[in-house]
Amino acid sequence: MYDVAVIGAGVVGSHTAGRLAAMGHSVAVVEGKRSLTEPVCCTGIIGRECVTSFAIGEDIIMRWVKGARVFSPSGKPLKLWRPEPQAAIVDRVSLNVSMISRAQGRGAHYEVGTLVRDIEVADDRVRIKAVRGNSPVYLEARAAVIATGFRPGLTERLGLGRTGDFVAGVQAEVSAPGVEDVEVYLGREVAPSFFAWMVPTTSGMGLVGLLSRQTPEVYLRKLLSLLADRGKIASADVEVLHGGISLKPLAKTYGDRLLVVGTAAGQVKPITGGGIYYGLLCANIAAEHLHRALSADNLSARDLAGYQREWKQRLGSELRTGYWARRVYERFSDRQIDRLFDIMESTGILESLLNAKDLSFDWHGGAVSRVISYEVFRKIIGSMKLPARLKDRMPGRE
Ligand SMILES: Cc1cc2nc3c(=O)[nH]c(=O)nc-3n(C[C@H](O)[C@H](O)[C@H](O)COP(=O)(O)OP(=O)(O)OC[C@H]3O[C@@H](n4cnc5c(N)ncnc54)[C@H](O)[C@@H]3O)c2cc1C
């Protein structure tokens, strides 16, 4: 019997496995995919803080970026640029592979091509029921960590619920020889309520993707055709990958002998959908709590509840403010977004935001509070027909 079974060999699952293995626990990682180098539907943009905190190797960083050119619905560009590199674009498969190598180097064992169907929680262990091909696979451990990304099946079956809100993401790799900067596109015609992007990766290549609650691939195909017509990408005839992003955390991220981490737990920035950094931060917290619980052999839900308390203490206010901003943004019309662009530029608000020391790629709460501290924004938001739950929860009013 293993000490811990981690379900899911994504970046968060493998990091959790590596930490626990380094603490001396026997760890099995169970991954449904047949190959650990299958493409991942993710752009791989992570902030400098994430690169440093998790010692992400230079060899997997394809380039550093100082900012992005954001296009309003009518096509006005806003240059969000800072003098220093703000984020790295990493090769997403290599990021997974590097976390897997670290975990394996510390002794974690991988069961690949093994899809977990169910977890039975007994008094002294968990029983993992999985399939590999057509054959059943059984595995036992003292505790399980669910790191299954956007796949609500297991957490729901275990009575931990579903993430409160989510969005679909789509992305394609394109040949984009002339593209050197990150571009973000806004507007109902492009990606209703969310945004689309084009990101340069290795020389001449890039990623085009978007988030949308409805028919994301239809919007992406339209955007790809437009970019091809404008000569920005070589061809619109490309393969599209699909993924899901939780926008609100799972109500319960622990249970008897169970912890949930990463996108499976909804540990994701609600404004951008970025989940790598927050997932890794919570993986550290999960590993610490599980280590203490395993050492004391106290693995009840009560003993593990501290995990949720601690990660919510670290991220809770960010997630709440980010989700508030996301829901308000979703209610802006295209005209209002264009007007906000004008205001940001003409009043100097943009410049002061970009110069603010606390503006961070990873922590958005400060920027949201700063933006809505401007009278002009408070007036716009005040004039909108927002449901009471959004009006009442405007940051600064709580
Ligand atoms: C289009 C798109 C773009 C994105 N871009 C960014 C970005 O630029 N930056 C950023 O920070 N985040 C981004 N994200 C979000 C990011 O991809 C996720 O937050 C991150 O991958 C979460 O990692 P994870 O390990 O929690 O889950 P995942 O990476 O999804 O890994 C979960 C693993 O569990 C496995 N699994 C699932 N169910 C089972 C099962 N029952 N049995 C066995 N194995 C199972 C899966 O096969 C998978 O390998 C993006 C997401 C999308 C959709």
Residues 161-182: pLDDT tens digits?
Answer: 888 899 999 999 999 998 889 9
Asked if 227 and 238 sit in the same domain, the reply is yes
Q: Which of 245, 266, 301 is the endpoint of a domain?
A: 245
Asked if 121 and 224 sit in the same domain, the reply is no
Q: Provide mean pLDDT across the span 120-133.
A: 96
Asked if 170 and 304 sit in the same domain, the reply is no
Residue, of 358 and 238, whose pLDDT is higher: 238
Distance 9 CA to ligand 1 centre (A): 9
Residue, of 96 and 339, whose pLDDT is higher: 96
Asked if 363 and 256 sit in the same domain, the reply is no
User: Atom 41, ligand 1: which residue's CA is nearest?
Assistant: 116
Q: Provide mean pLDDT across the span 148-153.
A: 92
Q: Which of 315, 344, 365 is the endpoint of a domain?
A: 315
Asked if 12 and 121 sit in the same domain, the reply is yes
Residue whose entry in the numeric block shows the structure tokens 């010692």: 55
Band (357; pLDDT cuts 50, 70, 90):
confident
Which pLDDT score is estimated for 57?
A: 95
Tokens representing 90 are 């990493």
Distance 263 CA to ligand 1 centre (A): 6
Query: Is ligand 1 within 6 A of the CB of residue 8?
Result: yes
Query: Is residue 360 classed exposed, middle or buried when 0-12, 13-18 and 19+ CB atoms within 10 A define those classes?
Result: middle
Q: Provide mean pLDDT across the span 79-87.
A: 89
Closest to 144 measured CA to CA, from 257, 19, 291, 16: 257
Q: Which of 264-278, 306-320, 346-360 has the lowest mean pLDDT?
A: 346-360
Asked if 240 and 155 sit in the same domain, the reply is no
Q: Provide mean pLDDT across the span 256-276.
A: 96
Query: Is ligand 1 within 6 A of the CB of residue 182?
Result: no
Looking at the domain assignment, is residue 46 inside a domain? yes
Query: Is ligand 1 within 6 A of the CB of residue 7?
Result: yes
Query: Is ligand 1 within 6 A of the CB of residue 152?
Result: no
Domain count, the chain: 3
Q: Which of 218, 245, 272 is the endpoint of a domain?
A: 245
User: Atom 21, ligand 1: which residue's CA is nearest?
Assistant: 276
Distance 301 CA to ligand 1 centre (A): 25
Q: Which of 51-65, 188-202, 296-310, 345-359 has the lowest mean pLDDT?
A: 345-359
Distance 181 CA to ligand 1 centre (A): 25
Percent of the chain at pLDDT > 90 equals 78
- Which residue from 154, 269, 276 has its CB within 8 A of the most atoms of ligand 1, so it is best to mutate? 276
Query: Is ligand 1 within 6 A of the CB of residue 42?
Result: yes
Residue 188: partners with Cβ closer than 8 Å, 6 or more residues away: 73, 333, 334
Return the HEC string of the chain.
CEEEEEECCCHHHHHHHHHHHHCCCCEEEECCCCCCCCCCCCCCEEEHHHHHHCCCCHHHEEEEECEEEEECCCCCEEEEECCCCCEEEECHHHHHHHHHHHHHHCCCEEECCCEEEEEEECCCCEEEEEEECCEEEEEEEEEEEECCCCCCHHHHHCCCCCECCEEEEEEEEEECCCCCCEEEECCCCCCCCCCEEEEECCCCEEEEEEEECCCHHHHHHHHHHHHHHCCCCCCCCCCEEEEEEECCCECCCEECCEEECHHHHCCCCCCCCCCHHHHHHHHHHHHHHHHHHHHHCCCCHHHHHHHHHHHHHHHHHHHHHHHHHHHHHHCCCHHHHHHHHHHHHHCCHHHHHHHCCCCCCCCCHHHHHHHHCCHHHHHHHHHCCCCHHHHHCCCCCC
Residue, of 395 and 255, whose pLDDT is higher: 255
Predicted confidence (pLDDT) per residue in 1-26, tens digit: 999 999 999 999 999 999 999 999 99
Query: Is ligand 1 within 6 A of the CB of residue 236?
Result: no
From the alpha carbon of 115, which atom of ligand 1 is closest? 42
Looking at the domain assignment, is residue 184 inside a domain? yes
Looking at the domain assignment, is residue 234 inside a domain? yes
Looking at the domain assignment, is residue 388 inside a domain? yes
- Which residue from 42, 51, 150, 311 has its CB within 8 A of the most atoms of ligand 1, so it is best to mutate? 42
Distance 150 CA to ligand 1 centre (A): 7
Which pLDDT score is estimated for 387?
A: 80
Looking at the domain assignment, is residue 307 inside a domain? yes
Query: Is ligand 1 within 6 A of the CB of residue 32?
Result: yes
Which pLDDT score is estimated for 396?
A: 64
Which pLDDT score is estimated for 397?
A: 57
Which pLDDT score is estimated for 373?
A: 80
Asked if 134 and 274 sit in the same domain, the reply is yes
Closest to 20 measured CA to CA, from 208, 242, 209, 284: 284
Looking at the domain assignment, is residue 82 inside a domain? no
Cα diameter, the chain: 65
Asked if 239 and 264 sit in the same domain, the reply is no
Asked if 258 and 238 sit in the same domain, the reply is no
pLDDT, mean over the chain: 93
Range of the domain at 180: 166-245
State how far the Cα of 185 lies from the Cα of 223, in Å rounded to an integer.
Answer: 10
State how far the Cα of 369 lies from the Cα of 374, in Å rounded to an integer.
Answer: 9
User: Atom 29, ligand 1: which residue's CA is nearest?
Assistant: 10
Query: Is ligand 1 within 6 A of the CB of residue 275?
Result: yes
Q: How far is CA 294 from the centre of its chain?
A: 28
Looking at the domain assignment, is residue 324 inside a domain? yes
Asked if 11 and 118 sit in the same domain, the reply is yes
State how far the Cα of 109 lies from the Cα of 141, in Å rounded to an integer.
Answer: 13
Looking at the domain assignment, is residue 68 inside a domain? no
Band (256; pLDDT cuts 50, 70, 90):
very high
Asked if 174 and 240 sit in the same domain, the reply is yes
Q: Provide mean pLDDT across the span 341-347.
A: 87
The CATH number of the domain holding residue 239 is: 3.30.9.10
The CATH number of the domain holding residue 282 is: 3.50.50.60
Query: Is ligand 1 within 6 A of the CB of residue 147?
Result: yes
Q: Provide mean pLDDT across the span 286-293.
A: 98
Distance 394 CA to ligand 1 centre (A): 30
pTM exceeds 0.85 for this model: yes
114 and 32 Cβ atoms separated by less than 8 Å: yes
User: Atom 26, ligand 1: which residue's CA is nearest?
Assistant: 262
Which pLDDT score is estimated for 82?
A: 87
172 and 209 Cβ atoms separated by less than 8 Å: yes
Distance 10 CA to ligand 1 centre (A): 6
